Amino acid sequence: MSEMALIDNIIPRADVVKCAVRIGAEIRNIRLSGDLPDQTIVAIKGLLLEHKVIFFRDQGHLDDAKQEHFARRLGKLSPHPIRGVSILELDATRGGSRADMWHADLTFLHAYPKICVLRGVVIPPFGGDTVWSNAATAYLDLPPPLQRLADELWAVHTNAYDFEGLVPRAREVDRKEFNDVLTRTIFETEHPVVRIHPETGERTLLLSDIVQRFVGIPKYAGQQVFAMLQSYIAAPENTVRWNWKGGDVAIWDNRATQHYAIYDYGDQPRIVRRATIDGDVPVSVDGRRSVTRVKATKQQNANVY
């Protein structure tokens, strides 16, 4: 039996509703749980590889413990590298947590998470959607000369990014948290701009708004190259937009997507909780692996930073 036939046998295609041509599907009639049969977990993983991000409505039965239990079925749980928690709360009343920028999660790490499981806890009555993009089809859209350029590029990702530039509306308490907590340990990792997906073999663009620079390219020229490549990722036809409701769960392949949490809900509360699954070290098209350049405290690097 083929893999697709196996998935169809476990999760009927009628329960898999595509949200857009290139990315995203809603999976119906499944109650997420850590006790799901192994075949159902295999089918969910298969649909995730196919659609890049999958959505489940009406999962209000999940609490933090049950979300963690389910996430563990997808792989080894990856605690947040700075906060050390398995379930990370993202509260939009704190401006630094809004994530209203294009990014893949935690790419400043050597082996950043491969899967993210996000649960809607408090959702505003309007606004607060999240948009995901397909980093594999974005690469395919590049003209061949730009594909060859991207294949050769490496980029430096760091958690010590330009916070003021990316989160200009943040409050003073958010700036303090960023400076005192989130960058207490500074990570700086060189990733290939094009990585080979370890399960599908696809080439995906590995970028993020926390990219600091391209290796070997002057800053101004690098900004132009970044903007050009990122424009393919963020092209509307390459995205899917999810309108959250309380109890929704989104699961995405963090190796093949970027996402953007839209800030269009004012001061209304918006709280989501995320679990992440251990990833693998990215490999470039010529077989080289990502390299961590810096992993030390600010105090130890006072003369550098």
SS3 string of 57-84? CCCCCCCHHHHHHHHHCCCCECCCCCCC
Residue 300: per-residue pLDDT = 47
Q: What is the pTM of this model?
A: 0.92
Alpha-carbon distance 122 to 259, whole Å?
19
pLDDT at 83 exceeding the cut of 90: no
| Type of residue at 273 | R
Task: Indicate the domain borders of the chain.
Answer: 78-297
Residue 301: per-residue pLDDT = 44
Residues 250 and 122: beta-carbon distance below 8 Å: no
pLDDT at 18 exceeding the cut of 70: yes
The order of strands in the sheet holding 271-277 is: 16-18, 25-27, 53-56, 249-253, 115-122, 271-277, 88-91
Minimal CA–CA distance to 48: which of 68, 28, 67, 27? 27
CA-to-CA dists, residue 7 to 2, 68, 71, 74, 83, angstroms = 9, 24, 19, 16, 36
CA-to-CA dists, residue 86 to 66, 116, 167, 182, angstroms = 12, 11, 25, 16
User: What share of the chain has pLDDT > 90, as a percent?
Assistant: 78
**What's the topology of domain 78-297?**
Double-stranded beta-helix (3.60.130)
* Average of per-residue pLDDT across 188-216: 96
Residue 90: per-residue pLDDT = 93
Non-local CB neighbours of 41 within 8 Å, separated by 6+ positions: 73, 74
